[in-house]
Structure 1
Amino acid sequence: MFAAASLSDVLTELSARFTARTGRQTRTVFAGSGDVARQVLSGAPADLIVLADSEWMDRLAAANVLRPGSRVDLATNSLVVIAPADQPQTAFVWRGRIAIGDPASVPAGRYARQMMQALGVRDRDDMTLVTAADVRAVRGFVARGEVDLGVVYRSDALGYDAVRVVATPPAEVQPRIVYPAALTTRAAEGAAGLMQFLAGAEARETFARHGFGAVS
């Protein structure tokens, strides 16, 4: 399985549960969705793909690397702004060094840029954007105090003590964030069972516990 970095915790838990019940081993490669898609397009041996971005999945479909009819949306997410947990709590302002995912390959970065543009806070003299390889790297920058703020998914901030949420952008500026999954045309026989498990009711409850939203 090749999957978006923001899914690391929840898919690791679900994969272990799947293996315990079926005896089928799974191996997952995590990276930014753009990097995942490019690896698959270059021939990486993926059976199942889960991304944080419908556009990248559309590109894979257009390249005929997905099994027809296998695509399904597993979960949703939203953006939050985080700061180091040990930073003094003051009134929130967009200022200083702000980390986002690289918009060219990280959907969270593209979503962050769209959200900031909608709020009118891009390209200000008192702000410097720092880009990262994936959303977990953004969280790491913030946790280590290397930046003042970071924009990550809600699921990345939940239960992570080294950062704290300082702002939740209003719904009207939140991009639609969906996690599509699909089998590849080269998928091994057992991959369909894992796909079915990830799309089931038990997995939805696990996604919710990790801070993801349900697909309407």
Structure 2
Amino acid sequence: MSLLRILSVFLIAALPVLAPAQARQQRGPMLLAAASLQEALTDAASSWAGKGHPRPVISFAGSSALARQIEAGAPADLFIPADEEWMDHVARKGLIRANSRVSFLSNRLVLVAPTGSNARLAIGRGFPLAGALGNGRLAMADPDNVPAGRYGRAALSSLGVWASVSGKIARAENVRAALALVERKEAPFGIVYATDARASARVRTVGVFPASAHPAITYPIAALRRSTNPDAEAFRRFLVSREGRAIFARHGFAAR
């Protein structure tokens, strides 16, 4: 057999082995991120890919659901929940890399109504939310587990309103699901982040909750210990850099 033919046979036989290895090297980092980050993180991923990097893969959901996925062994590289508690939970399990955690974004909490609604409420102590709901329900992320719901319950409790509306809650699996209930006019009001309201043309902001009425809304990011993607740390650094934070700022997030 000629030398050329021998080399051809070798290369053909090697292709099934080389191709998967090359595909693994070209896969972008996998992020598990809070649902409220959809537009901003998608833009950040596009900007990163535009620099010649493999495009990151992002899975959006409620922070509680994502934390449980990490506990169950999800093959992710980075985690960005919408509060410190779920990052603390994952950290206690020994699932994040030391010194990779940074709290880099903040948000505001707002009350929204469908765009066509003429409802008006001034948010303040004892404001008549229960009466404004009538027979309707207040859409919000699950107040027992999801950050947006926890912040919302804390705000309503602080303002002395929670007891009057707690029996009228339409619990959603994450903040975007709560937003969707208001967009579809299935709920007359909802509590979401200011960035969620900004991202939707089908709701309007009725009022902004005082920042003092609930714990500070923060978004930490950390690398997961199981991460093996060579691009993950560089992308994490990009997100918390001045350039990365500017992308989030365009979507209404404030830097921390």
Provide TM-score, normalisation by structure 1: 0.95
| Structure-2 residue corresponding to 1:183 | 223
Equivalent AA in structure 2 for residue 202 of structure 1: E
**Corresponding pairs, count:** 215
| Structure-2 residue corresponding to 1:196 | 237
Change in 2 beyond 3 A, CA 1:200/1:112: same
Equivalent AA in structure 1 for residue 223 of structure 2: L
Q: Answer with 107-116 or 89-98: which moved more.
A: 89-98
CA contact (8 A) 2:111 2:206 kept: yes
Equivalent AA in structure 1 for residue 160 of structure 2: G
Give the Å deviation of 1:91: 4.3
1:170 to 210, 230, 237: 210
Distance (whole Å) between structure 2 residues aligned to residue 178 and residue 87 of structure 1: 30
Distance (whole Å) between structure 1 residues aligned to residue 222 and residue 251 of structure 2: 21
Distance (whole Å) between structure 2 residues aligned to residue 126 and residue 73 of structure 1: 31
User: In structure 2, the residue corresponding to 1:138 is in which secondary structure?
Assistant: helix
Change in 2 beyond 3 A, CA 1:125/1:156: closer
1:146-195 Cα distance to aligned partner (Å, 9 max, x none): 01110001111114210000011223213211000000112122100110
CA contact (8 A) 1:94 1:127 kept: no
Distance (whole Å) between structure 1 residues aligned to residue 225 and residue 234 of structure 2: 15
Distance (whole Å) between structure 1 residues aligned to residue 33 and residue 166 of structure 2: 35
User: In structure 2, the residue corresponding to 1:152 is in which secondary structure?
Assistant: strand
1:18 to 35, 45, 48: 48
Distance (whole Å) between structure 2 residues aligned to residue 18 and residue 94 of structure 1: 43
Distance (whole Å) between structure 2 residues aligned to residue 126 and residue 18 of structure 1: 43
CA contact (8 A) 2:121 2:129 kept: no
User: In structure 2, the residue corresponding to 1:55 is in which secondary structure?
Assistant: helix
Distance (whole Å) between structure 2 residues aligned to residue 6 and residue 204 of structure 1: 15
Distance (whole Å) between structure 1 residues aligned to residue 207 and residue 121 of structure 2: 10
RMSD (Å) for aligned C-alpha atoms: 1.5
CA contact (8 A) 1:34 1:104 kept: no
| Structure-1 residue corresponding to 2:34 | 4
Distance (whole Å) between structure 2 residues aligned to residue 125 and residue 172 of structure 1: 20
Question: Does the alignment pair 1:84 with 2:84?
Answer: no
Distance (whole Å) between structure 2 residues aligned to residue 157 and residue 125 of structure 1: 21
| Structure-2 residue corresponding to 1:209 | 250
Distance (whole Å) between structure 2 residues aligned to residue 174 and residue 40 of structure 1: 27
Q: Answer with 96-105 or 107-116: which moved more.
A: 96-105
Give the Å deviation of 1:23: 2.6
Distance (whole Å) between structure 1 residues aligned to residue 176 and residue 118 of structure 2: 23
| Structure-1 residue corresponding to 2:146 | 106
1:104-145 Cα distance to aligned partner (Å, 9 max, x none): 331000110000000111121796111101000111000111
User: In structure 2, the residue corresponding to 1:164 is in which secondary structure?
Assistant: strand
Distance (whole Å) between structure 1 residues aligned to residue 211 and residue 239 of structure 2: 27
Change in 2 beyond 3 A, CA 1:126/1:183: closer
Equivalent AA in structure 2 for residue 70 of structure 1: S
CA contact (8 A) 2:113 2:119 kept: no
Find the structure with the greater CA-based Rg: 2
User: In structure 2, the residue corresponding to 1:22 is in which secondary structure?
Assistant: coil
| Structure-2 residue corresponding to 1:61 | 91
Change in 2 beyond 3 A, CA 1:60/1:167: same
User: In structure 2, the residue corresponding to 1:70 is in which secondary structure?
Assistant: coil
| Structure-1 residue corresponding to 2:194 | 154
Percent of paired sites with the same residue: 40
| Structure-1 residue corresponding to 2:77 | 47
CA contact (8 A) 1:101 1:109 kept: yes
Change in 2 beyond 3 A, CA 1:91/1:28: closer
